[in-house]
Amino acid sequence: MAEDLRAWLERMEKEGELKKLDGVSWDLEIGTITALNTRRDSPAVLFDNIPGHPPGHRVLTGSILTPRRVALTLGLPADVPENEMIAAAKKKVKGWLDNLDKFKPREVREGPVMQNVQKGDKINILQFPSPKWHKKDGGRYIGTGHCLVTRDPETGDVNLGTYRVMVQDEKTLGFHISPGKHGRIHFEKYHARGEKAPILVSVGHHPHYFAAGTLSLPHGAEYNYLGAMKNEPSEVITEEVTGLPMPADSEIVFAGFCPPDKTRAEGPFGEYTGYYASGERQNPIIEVERVYFRNNPIIHGAPPSRPPYNGSYYLTLIGSILIELELAKLGVPDVKGVWTHEICSSYFVAISLKQRFAGHPKQAALYASEISARGGMGGRYVVVVDEDIDPTDIKQVLWAMCTRSDPEKDLDIIRRTRSSPLDPIIKKPAAGLFSSRAFIDATKPWEWRDQFPEVVEIDQEMAAIVRKKFGKELKL
Ligand SMILES: Cc1cc2nc3c(=O)[nH]c(=O)nc-3n(C[C@H](O)[C@H](O)[C@H](O)COP(=O)(O)O)c2cc1C
Ligand SMILES: [Mn+2]
pLDDT in tens, 273-317: 999 999 999 999 999 999 999 999 999 999 999 999 999 999 999
Q: What is the pTM of this model?
A: 0.96
- Whether 460 is covered by a domain: the verdict is no
* Contact predicate 283/223, CB 8 Å: no
Q: Which ligand is nearest to the CA of 216?
A: 1
User: Domain check: are 358 and 275 in the same one?
Assistant: no
CA atoms of 360 and 439, how far apart (whole Å): 13
The closest-lying atom of ligand 1 relative to the alpha carbon of residue 217 is: 25
Average pLDDT rounded to a whole number, residues 42-49: 98
Indicate whether 467 belongs to any domain: no
Task: Answer yes or no: is pLDDT of 345 > 90.
Answer: no
CA of residue 419 to ligand 2 center, whole Å: 18
Domain shared by 272 and 349, yes or no: no
Q: How far is the CA of 211 from the centre of ligand 2 (A)?
A: 12
What are the tens digits of pLDDT across the range 109-137? 999 999 999 999 999 999 999 999 999 99
pLDDT of residue 377: 85
For residue 178, give the ligand 1 atom closest to its CA: 11
181 Cα nearest atom in ligand 1: 27
Ramachandran area for residue 127 (φ above 0: left; ψ -120 to 50: alpha; else beta) = alpha
297 and 340 part of one domain: no
Q: Which of 142, 162, 316 to mutate to test the pocket of ligand 1 (most atoms within 8 A of CB)?
A: 162
Atom of ligand 1 at shortest range from CA of 269: 8
340, 382 Cβ separation under 8 angstroms: no
Angle at 91 between CA 86 and CA 96, to 5 degrees: 120
Strand, coil or helix: 253: strand
Ligand nearest to the CA of 319: 1
Q: Report which bound ligand comes closest to the CA of 183.
A: 1
Q: Residues near 334 by Cβ (< 8 Å), separated by ≥ 6?
A: 353, 354, 355, 356, 387
The Cα 51–Cα 414 span in angstroms is 52
State the Cα–Cα distance between residues 127 and 169, nearest whole angstrom: 11
220 and 360 share one domain: no
CA of 389 to the centre of ligand 1 (A): 31
Task: Tell me: pLDDT of 375 over 90.
Answer: no
Question: In angstroms, what is the span from residue 341 Cα to ligand 1's centroid?
Answer: 17
Return the ligand number nearest the Cα of 270. Answer: 1
CA of 112 to the centre of ligand 2 (A): 25
CA gap 161, 62 in Å, rounded: 19
Domain assignment of residue 183, yes or no:
yes
13 belongs to a structural domain? yes
Tell whether the model's pLDDT for residue 473 goes beyond 90: no
Note the pLDDT of residue 91.
97
CB atoms within 10 A of CB 416: 10
Same domain, 61 and 178: yes
Instruction: Say if 342 falls within a structural domain.
Output: yes
pLDDT digits (tens, 9 = 90+) for 428-455: 999 999 999 999 999 999 999 999 999 9
Of 34, 142, 155, 163, best ligand 1 pocket probe by most atoms within 8 Å of the beta carbon: 163
Identify whether 75 is part of a domain: yes
DSSP class of residue 133 equals -
CATH number of the domain that residue 367 is part of: 3.40.1670.10
Q: State the total domains in the chain.
A: 2
Confidence (pLDDT) at 376 = 81
Residues 76 and 138 in one domain: yes
Report which secondary-structure segment, H or E, holds 402: helix 394-404
Do residue 268 and residue 341 come from a single domain?
no
Specify the DSSP element, H or E, that contains 362: helix 360-371
Quick one: 200 and 62 in the same domain?
A: yes
Are 213 and 347 part of one and the same domain? no
In a domain, 351, yes or no: yes
Q: Any idea what the CATH number is for the domain that residue 228 is in? A: 2.30.110.10
- 161 Cα–ligand 2 center, Å: 6
| Pocket-forming residues, ligand 1, beta carbon under 6 Å | 144, 159, 161-164, 176-178, 181-183, 213-216, 272, 302, 304, 311, 315, 375
Residues 8-37 pLDDT 10s? 999 999 999 999 999 999 999 999 999 999
Ligand nearest to the CA of 222: 2
183 Cα–ligand 1 center, Å: 10
Taking the alpha carbons at both ends of the chain, their separation in whole angstroms is: 48
What is the domain extent for residue 126? 5-301
Within-domain flag for 314: no
pLDDT of residue 12: 98
Are 335 and 297 members of one domain?
Answer: no
Residue whose Cα lies nearest atom 21 of ligand 1: it is 216
- Give 161 Cα–ligand 1 centroid separation in angstroms: 6
Asked if residue 367 and residue 288 are part of one domain, the reply reads: no
Domain check: are 395 and 282 in the same one?
Answer: no
Bigger pLDDT: 91 vs 342:
91
CA nearest ligand 1 atom 12, residue: 163
